[in-house]
Structure 1
């Protein structure tokens, strides 16, 4: 079967990986480089965690996600995952961190409870007077997304995939499974998968009733010199508590110390607009992290990156078949951790044509 995949973020790459393993003829079209720094799955590292708040279906699916990553590491010959653990910090009753902990309880996942003084002794960047408790899940940590994309691209090339970078898809014929690119060249296939992330609505504007495009920023910070060792040994932080939806990825294995916050996201109908961070965006983001971090004014912003990604109203993944085309949006702010599993599930659905089963899995509705 000839399959064209539009978009080489983690969903597109993983779909190409899975289909290539099954012997299919793959064409992968990406408008930028691989990795693409503007894509939702760009950036240095991403979190994988078992804590999922009220979304128990996704928490249940994490086991499949980890197994799928292990299969990818076997093929690549190297693991791009650091199981550094995941910390939650609750500042007030019912905040995001407490909801994540309640989800761990419902799933009967084990974790370690930490009183504020104990947590600050272990992680001295914390202010023990600013939060109620912390908890540490020893499973989970960081996926090194840029390294994953580079190695998957090399693996696919060795398997004979036709990879076309810096190639913009201008139009799609979903029933013919064909796309038109620059110079009016038409690429034809038996099946088409569109995993274009924030650019999906440019190809399928009618899906605006299902998908919304958002812009957000992350900041890489340099901590005070006396806290560098503490941060290097820190876990990922799923939620800092309070109202910011703040999260952190530690400076592990050469990565930077990354701060992000869900409260920062804004609607962005044009994913190419405002992709250069405005002055002060990094400092505004930094200030959201006090509390629970002490001495936040001593941190300096080294880099600010923007990202654009799609959301559904219920923050679940989305798929829709149109003729011989499958349109996928596995994002809603938490898609990367499932990337390898998403690719395997899409490959399976293309062979079985069981789109309903795929949709239920993507929405985490399966038992």
Structure 2
């Protein structure tokens, strides 16, 4: 069996990995380098966590994600996951911090609940007067994206995958199972899997009824010196509570202190606005007061722009037709499932049951 994978973000890399392990001949095409700094998988680190609030299907599936990552660490000979655990904060009744906590409790998953003062006592970068409570779960941590992509790239090459960086695809033919390269060449296979992330609509504009592309950005902060050790030994913050949909990744394993907020996004093409705007880092930083204490003492080390596709209900997207499958995660939350997404696509192709793969990825049960 021959498969062409278009796009070498985490879903594409993992699909190539899972197929190659099963003896499939794979060609992997990527428009830039691997890792590609413009891709959603090109940043320093991402959160993996159990909590999913009202999306119980993903909450139940995270165990399979951890299993797939463990298999990948064995193949790569390195574990690119730092087990920091994750923290939930609530500022107002019914906010996402409380929603995530409720989902964990209803699912029967262990979580440590803390008062506002207990939370700030453990994590001095939090202003106790701005939160209602905190909650900690050990079942989560930080995935080191750039190290994962670099090691997967090298593993795929060693395993005989035809890896082609800086190769643009201009068209895909579902019935022929072929792709046309911008250079004019045509490649054919038994199946084509497109995992092109924010560039998917460039190949399939008709999917705009299902997918919307957004431009967002994250900021890397320099904390006050007395708070630095607390951040370096702290957990991810899955949600800071309130209304900003804010998340935080601690500076571990050579990464920076990253903050991002769901409210800081706008519809945009994947190549538009990729240079950070003047003052954008400060704007993002200031979304985190509350609940951060002493926000003005945090410097801006860097700002990184990102482009994501979203579905309207924030579930994953998969559509198959003839000899083509298009797969898209929803926003950044797709990264944590990257390894198991690749596994499910490979299983579906070999079992000739891509519908089962779609049902699993959409996680509506």
Distance in structure 2 (CA, Å) of the matches to 1:205 and 1:95: 35
**Residue in 2 aligned with 1:314?**
313
Matched, 1:18 2:15: no
The reply on whether 1:284 has 2:283 as its aligned counterpart is yes
Counterparts of 1:293 and 1:330 in 2: how far apart (Å)? 30
Structure 2 residue 364 is the aligned partner of structure 1 residue 365: yes
Residue segments in structure 1 that go unaligned for 5+ positions in a row? none
- Confirm whether residue 112 of structure 1 aligns to residue 149 of structure 2: no
Is contact 1:317–1:332 with CA below 8 Å preserved after alignment?
no
Taking structure 1 as the reference length, what is the TM-score of the superposition?
0.98
Residue in structure 1 matched with residue 335 of structure 2 by the alignment: 336
Q: Tell me the residue number matched to 2:348.
A: 349
Please state if 1:132 is matched with 2:170.
Answer: no
Q: Look up the match of 1:233.
A: 233
**1:294 counterpart residue number:** 293
Stretches of 4+ aligned residues off by more than 3 angstroms: none
- Give the TM-score normalised by structure 2: 0.99
What secondary structure does 1:290 align onto? coil
What is the Cα deviation at residue 188 of structure 1?
Answer: 1.1
C-alpha displacement of 1:352 = 1.6
Equivalent pair of 1:217/1:260 in contact (CA under 8 Å): yes
> Residues 2 and 25 of structure 2 are in contact (CA less than 8 Å); yes or no, is this contact kept in structure 1?
yes
Give the Cα–Cα distance (whole angstroms) in 2 for the partners of residues 189 and 305 of structure 1: 36
> For 1:264-296, what per-residue CA distance to the aligned partner results, in whole angstroms no more than 9, with x for missing partners?
12111x210110110111100000000111000
1:178-227 deviation digits (Å, cap 9, x = unpaired):
11113211111111000000000110111111111111100000001111
- Paired with 2:265 and 2:68, the residues of 1 have a C-alpha distance of 29
Residue segments in structure 2 that go unaligned for 5+ positions in a row: none
1:333 Cα shift? 3.1
Q: 2:105 touches 2:111 (CA, 8 Å); kept in 1?
A: no
Map of 1:80-99 to 2, 5 A cutoff? 80-99=80-99
* Other structure's SS at 2:40 match: coil
1:271 pairs with 2:252: no
| Partner secondary structure for residue 359 of structure 1 | helix
